[in-house]
Amino acid sequence: MNDQTRIDQDRAERTEKLQGMGCKRKRVEDIRFTQGKGSYVDDLKLPGMLFGDFVRSPHAHARIKSIDTSRAKALPGVIAVLTAADLKPLGLHYMPTLAGDVQAVLAEEKVLFQNQEVAFVIAVDRYIASDATELVDVEYEALPCIVDPFKSMLPDAPILREDIQDKMTGAHGPRKHPNHIFEWMIGDKEATDAVFANADVTIKEMLVDHRTHPSPLETCQSVASFDKVKGELTLWGTFQAPHVIRTVVSLISGLPEHKIHVIAPDIGGGFGNKVGAYAGYVCSVVGSIVLGVPVKWVEDRMENLSTTSFARDYHMTTELAATKEGKILAMRVHVLADHGAFDACADPSKWPAGFMNICTGSYDIPVAHLAVDGVYTNKASGGVAYRCSFRVTEAVFAIERAVELLAHKLGMDAAELRIKNFIKAEQFPYQSALGWEYDSGDYHTAMKKAMDTIGYKELREEQARKREAFTRGETRELMGIGISFFTEIVGAGPAKNCDILGIAMFDSAEIRIHPTGSVIARMGTKSQGQGHETTYAQIIATEIGIPADDIMIEEGNTDTAPYGLGTYGSRSTPVAGAATAVAARKIKAKAQMIAAHMLEVHEGDLEWDVDRFRVKGLPEKFKTMKEIAWAAYNSPPPNMEPGLEAVNYYEPPNMTYPFGAYFCVMDIDVDTGVAKTRRFYALDDCGTRINPMIIEGQVHGGLTEAFACAMGQEIRYDEQGNVMGASFMDFFLPTAVETPHWETDHTVTPSPHHPIGAKGVGESPHVGGVPCFSNAVNDAYAFLGAGHIQMPHDAWRLWKVGEKLNLHQ
């Protein structure tokens, strides 16, 4: 072995020991989770703790004539029953939403959706609380309700929100009707209309991204404990954004923020459900403040699916204009957005339709115009971003379906049409027609790799044969090939355009190196299964050369963690991950000065080598990070403050734009409508990869949720506003049997502005997956002249497509 080989081997061994970026490090969290030792909100048991449960409205729209709580209060074990009359003197019967609206905590004069909260019963155990909810007598006068958002703004529509009926200017400008929330527009309307007027080919379709629900396996829950002597409130809860919750609680309760301790313990999945503030949180807080003992609130599944934060319900009239050769010239979209009874979107303040304006997708479209009208209906309020950055699933669904429809109209191959219109690698950073600056991308390379791997040409040939066989009556099976080439926009966001309640959407990391060279780091984000305790440690390990196993990551305690905006919109890696790298580099810079002092050389004479600073040209003269850590506390250089820690509040200069090429091969039995996914291939480019094992896991999970949304999952209402399917009996969550096998792949195009080049990945598979499944279904039926088939594509609906097309003898 020569010297260089020995040096390389030594470096490789030291690098491997770090378990830093790029390795498939096993998760730290799993040690406790596999032993049932996770600590979730409902596991919390405090002395004297009481339980709260809601009385809910059976009506979608009704006037409350009276509420009589006397029978409930008389039940042994019931401690209190709260109604709007109790909250109103405290100013707490309404709370602000993140979207600039207000939302009833407990209904005062009217209920506006089925299962809306009307009273909160507090009892010594959850069984008695539940019993007592049956004993609260509420007299309602039913009112006509609005379920169809297209009827919200009719002249004779019943006025839903009487509380704001005279306020014709909302948080996002003028309202056109008492049931109108906002109109939001972006793009060049005149130029877009002009292109459409003269285009060779146009397509126009109403694309519905139906109402669904994130439905994490753990529902929303909280425990509030108010210490009357100290005047301090501790609030444990299922919070994706604990710091924001603390600020909200302070603003609405009047308690000073430093006397509120918000703790988000282990969270059993979030997917957007746990970003907002809910009536249950507020009522547990009020209950504890009033009674002086801890109060727990735990949502059941029916409550979860029917009240806290639906997603989607976007009705998108989508148009493309193109040349006859297939060059897309313009895009025009109008969205009717059904927000339910209160606008409780969890978007950055200035974005009432989220980042819907990413709807030009991966294509170089010269002009575009987008208009979104938000309306109230008698349905649960929302809608949140279900495993996606704000409204990005909707946007990607719109463009990826529209491109397929255009390809069909042009008689062009859908992959070829996409490739023809891709933004080229040399065009990045790319300014989109609707205002975004895409940071980086290499779409052609990703698409080619995906098509080669899946064997695209052969699949199309097979499909052609199958179509002929179907036409000849030799098979009853249709083959569909779904494509989706998505561009996400994640990592909100730059302060100039992203804030929540006025707080800029930075995020944070605080890293402390202890004298013995072990580390604790705290972030403003909050994992709900993403594995932050594992991956942030990998970033730090690589940056400062301390093994990941010696680094503890802590999140979710607002007293100890630096302020951050939380985990959603795939923002943890793009924002807090960047903060982690920057904080680590501050530590490294100080460590270099200490090392120079220890080695009696100039700082500039040192170079970094995996886990140590060594003297250039004298590799045997070095100080490891562990030695430097001790020196930082024991013998720091003169005039340098002791200690080795840093904090960074990272304000991203731009969002990141992960992308991917997805292919789905599906076989559909026209007589039963049963669709079988034969193959699903997902190529993701999320920039620098921190932990490939966790990335793959995120992709699997996101694809499974996409499969659910596209193929059956739905929150539906009947004409009376009764929510249909608000339990796991009806709401489709795929089991291991239905879920396809996932194939994953990747390319790497690092983000140029992110300190480690990472982009975020958790939501890409969902965003890209939904249109890919829907495109596969639509592609299967396209040659039969089916037109656009709306989601969800469950067997019953696909059977109906067959009926409509006269395919059943």
Partner 1 sequence: MTKSHIELTINGRTVEALVEPRTLLIHFLREQQNLTGAHIGCDTGHCGACTVDMDDMSVKSCMTFAVQAHGASITTIEGVANADGTLSALQEGFRMMHGLQCGFCTPGMILRAHRLLQENPAPTEDEIRHGISGNLCRCTGYVNIVKSIQYAAAKINGTPFQEAAE
Residue 658 within binding range of partner 1, rule CB under 8 A: no
Residue 22 within binding range of partner 1, rule CB under 8 A: no
Between the two ends of the chain, the Cα-to-Cα distance in Å is 76
What's the rounded Cα separation, in Å, for the pair 395 and 418?
16
Residue 199 within binding range of partner 1, rule CB under 8 A: no
Q: Binding pattern to partner 1, positions 36-65, x when CB under 8 A?
A: xxx-x-xx-x--------------------
Q: Yes or no: say if 124 and 50 are a contact pair by the CB < 8 Å rule.
A: yes
What's the rounded Cα separation, in Å, for the pair 283 and 289?
10
Q: Binding pattern to partner 1, positions 734-773, x when CB under 8 A?
A: -xxx-x-xxxxx----------------------------
What's the rounded Cα separation, in Å, for the pair 331 and 360?
7
Residue 301 within binding range of partner 1, rule CB under 8 A: yes
The residues, any chain, with a CB within 8 Å of residue 506's CB and separated by 6 or more, are 495, 564, 565, 575, 579, 649, 650, 651, 652
What's the rounded Cα separation, in Å, for the pair 550 and 538?
11
The amino acid present at 568, given as its one-letter code, is Y
Closest CB 781 distance from partner 1, rounded Å: 26
Residue 2 within binding range of partner 1, rule CB under 8 A: no
Q: Can you name the residues that pair with 606 across neighbouring β-strands?
A: 615
Q: Yes or no: say if 758 and 650 are a contact pair by the CB < 8 Å rule.
A: no
How far is C-alpha 173 from the geometric centre of its chain's CA atoms? 26
Restricting to residues 531-550, which ones interact with partner 1 according to CB under 8 A?
Answer: 531
Residue 729 within binding range of partner 1, rule CB under 8 A: yes
What's the rounded Cα separation, in Å, for the pair 17 and 538?
11
Query: Of the listed pieces 1-9, 419-427, 695-703, 786-794, which binds partner 1 according to CB under 8 A?
Result: 695-703
Q: Binding pattern to partner 1, positions 210-229, x when CB under 8 A?
A: -----xxxxx----------
Nearer to partner 1, 504 or 693 (CB): 693
Neighbours of 496 (CB within 10 A): 10
Taking CB under 8 A as the criterion, the residue among 7, 12, 13, 32 binding partner 1 is: 32
Element (H, E) at 682: strand 675-685
Nearer to partner 1, 647 or 733 (CB): 733
Residue 302 within binding range of partner 1, rule CB under 8 A: yes
Taking CB under 8 A as the criterion, the residue among 334, 585, 700, 797 binding partner 1 is: 700
Residue 350 within binding range of partner 1, rule CB under 8 A: no
Nearer to partner 1, 36 or 638 (CB): 36
Nearer to partner 1, 183 or 743 (CB): 743
Q: Greatest CA separation found in the chain?
A: 91
Nearer to partner 1, 550 or 745 (CB): 745
Closest CB 731 distance from partner 1, rounded Å: 9
Nearer to partner 1, 506 or 773 (CB): 773
What's the rounded Cα separation, in Å, for the pair 533 and 71?
49
Catalytic residues: 240, 387-388, 763
Place of tokens 């003028």: 174
Residue 664 within binding range of partner 1, rule CB under 8 A: no
Closest CB 747 distance from partner 1, rounded Å: 15
Residue 33 within binding range of partner 1, rule CB under 8 A: yes
What's the rounded Cα separation, in Å, for the pair 591 and 275?
38
Residue of 751, 766, 312, 245 lying closest to 526 (CA atoms): 245
What's the rounded Cα separation, in Å, for the pair 606 and 615?
5
**Three-class SS state of 399:** helix
Residue 580 within binding range of partner 1, rule CB under 8 A: no
Nearer to partner 1, 217 or 618 (CB): 217
What's the rounded Cα separation, in Å, for the pair 456 and 458?
5
Closest CB 382 distance from partner 1, rounded Å: 18
Taking CB under 8 A as the criterion, the residue among 697, 725, 752, 787 binding partner 1 is: 697
Closest CB 691 distance from partner 1, rounded Å: 10
What's the rounded Cα separation, in Å, for the pair 390 and 353?
8
Contacts with partner 1, residue ranges (CB under 8 A) = 26-27, 29-38, 40, 42-43, 45, 126-127, 215-219, 266-269, 271, 300-302, 528-531, 693-694, 696-698, 700-705, 727-729, 733, 735-737, 739, 741-745
